[in-house]
Structure 1
């Protein structure tokens, strides 16, 4: 079954579609929002975090030289399983630079001559009362062994890791050959890790905008509090 077009609120549509595939009454009635699939952290979460860990990965510290790449404004919300915003959650992102080098000694050391020293490679942001986050970064590029460009992310609250996953570019040809993307789940799961990178209106720099909401699944505590089905 193909899903050629999706309405603006794609998650609600997909959740309703999933529910319609089952005949057991009320099986998914309490959770129309589908949780974002968890994916591998990968080998290149920074082994030495940079001094500058803010949400602007384009510039490091007081440097006036920007990173190479297509500037992208990555925004979205962190939501819980019922659709309520999650405030004071820490969102971390990391990705390779435009030269396909990660901020990790196992990758950056042997590629020191090609690493973009002006790309921060890692950033953090704490969500506001509406669960919103925002980053300024670059559009991801393919990496040797990973034909699908992607941005890694991790959501934390306090000392708990709530979700680790990746964001992929919708429609990129490399998706069909990327093992992590192909193993992210079924058709619906794969839809939930895709994002559109669109030109930012009126940008004189050719900047892009990407909006990506992240839905957290139920935590063990949530499951303990949930009423048991008889």
Structure 2
């Protein structure tokens, strides 16, 4: 874990009370998996997508730390849940053979997908890049969450303030305003972690 991230994560994941606690009851909406779910999880697939084993350079794009908790509808943590994320690289290309740009212009220094296991307090973290738009989609990151005894959840995280959010059919397919708001994350300066990086908090609430 990057120096300083542990402290930021601990503060971000502190227990919540009052109105903040009530927000945890808004269940994270399910969304489409999309056509580019990773088919190859061999090799480097940890929670740092910016560095790939065997690659000298780090990924193109603005480094972004995504932290949060996985909770049940009452706000209790769900330790041991597994999280997978996947997203396109800084040029808009997925690490997937069905993406037409795969062999031409993908960033070989970007891992493209990663995994983390939720800790005892419900916390998780990823080091990735700020998601970018590509034709037809606003910037987003795909999430898949599995936990024993619960239905798997596939959802997407979006970036607050992106102009294309208003036109994105997948995002606006979430009819419940509170659920739609729950997957839109404000990215703040993460200079306390790494210079010129960003930090976003995305809590995930599972049903059941």
The alignment's TM-score, normalised by the length of structure 2, stands at: 0.85
Q: Would you say the 8 A contact 2:150–2:207 is kept in 1? A: no
Distance in 2 between residues matched to 1:126 and 1:151, nearest whole Å:
17
The alpha-carbon deviation at position 103 of structure 1 amounts to: 1.0
Summarize deviations over 1:4-58 as a string: whole Å, max 9, x none.
xxxxx7x945957xxxxxxxxxxxxxxx711111111111001222411100000
Q: Identify the residue that residue 34 of structure 2 maps to in structure 1.
A: 42
Alignment of 1:84-163 (within 5 A): 84-107=76-99, 110-146=101-137, 148-158=138-148, 162-163=152-153
- Unaligned residue ranges in structure 2 (runs of 5+): 1-15
Change (3 A) 1:160 1:203: closer
- Unaligned residue ranges in structure 1 (runs of 5+): 1-8, 17-31, 219-230
Structure number with bigger Rg: 1
Q: Identify the residue that residue 187 of structure 2 maps to in structure 1.
A: 197
2:62 maps to which of 70, 73, 87: 70
Change (3 A) 1:37 1:134: same
Q: Would you say the 8 A contact 1:14–1:34 is kept in 2? A: no
The alpha-carbon deviation at position 201 of structure 1 amounts to: 3.2
Kindly report the root-mean-square deviation, in angstroms, between the aligned alpha carbons of the 2 structures.
2.3
2:173 maps to which of 183, 187, 190: 183
Alignment of 1:23-34 (within 5 A): 33-34=25-26
More relative contact order, 1 or 2 (CA 8 Å, 6+ apart) = 2
**Aligned residue pairs, count:** 193
Q: Would you say the 8 A contact 1:50–1:122 is kept in 2? A: no
The alpha-carbon deviation at position 113 of structure 1 amounts to: 2.0
Distance in 1 between residues matched to 2:179 and 2:55, nearest whole Å:
40
Distance in 2 between residues matched to 1:34 and 1:200, nearest whole Å:
27
The alpha-carbon deviation at position 209 of structure 1 amounts to: 0.5
1:206 aligns with 2:176: no
The alignment's TM-score, normalised by the length of structure 1, stands at: 0.77
- 1:48 is paired with a residue of what secondary structure? coil
Q: Would you say the 8 A contact 1:14–1:188 is kept in 2? A: no
Q: Would you say the 8 A contact 1:56–1:123 is kept in 2? A: yes
The alpha-carbon deviation at position 62 of structure 1 amounts to: 4.1
